[in-house]
Every structure is written in C-alpha cells, then in structure tokens.
Amino acid sequence: MPEEDSRIDHFVLEYRKTNFDGLPRVKDEQHWELIDYIKATEYTLSGLKFDTKYMNFRVQACNKAVAGEYSDPVTLETK
C-alpha cells in the first residue's frame, strides 16, 4: 500500500480470459471477474482454470468515498 498518509484505502483487481495474443478485442470478450478490497500491492490469484493462453488484468485504486480510473489492461500468458 502507499504511505499511511495516502488517500488510497484499497485496490480492485479485475481479470478475464482471452484466446488471443495482444490487446483486448470487442468481439467475443469475456466478462471481468472482480476481486475487491485488496490491501496490498501484491496479490496471488489462485483457482484459475488455464484453458486459455492469455489473461487480461486491470487495477483500480479506491478510497472510502470514490474509486479512481482503471489502469490500462495488461495481457499476460498463463502457461
């Protein structure tokens, strides 16, 4: 987490499966899975079924009043 005087209270992580290499496409997109209220700058995502080659991830910083913009999606390989 940022320094204690920071306005960030927690993070939201969203991820989805995709079957292609590169940036997300509009056609055949999967819905975003949500993990809310992450209090650390690291998170281990477990229980995934690795039936697709790539996954898209994005993060959002939140405080008690409002949520910020999502980060740009990042595509990772899930070998």
Question: pLDDT tens digits, the chain, 79 residues: what are they?
Answer: 556 657 888 999 998 877 665 555 555 567 888 999 999 888 998 877 666 666 789 999 998 889 999 999 888 876 6
Fold of the CATH domain 10-77 = Immunoglobulin-like (2.60.40)
| Per-residue tokens: 48 | 């995934």
pLDDT of residue 62: 92
Would you kindly state where each structural domain of the chain is located, as residue ranges? 10-77
Question: With a threshold of 0.75, does the pTM exceed it?
Answer: no
Rounded-to-integer distance, Cα 71 and Cα 79, Å: 24
| 3-18 burial: b if 16+ Cβ within 10 Å, else e | eeeeeeebbbbbbbbb
* Helix, strand, or coil (residue 62): strand
Contacts of residue 37, defined as CB under 8 A and 6 or more positions apart, other chains included, come to: 10, 12
**What whole-number distance in Å separates Cα of residue 26 and Cα of residue 47?**
26
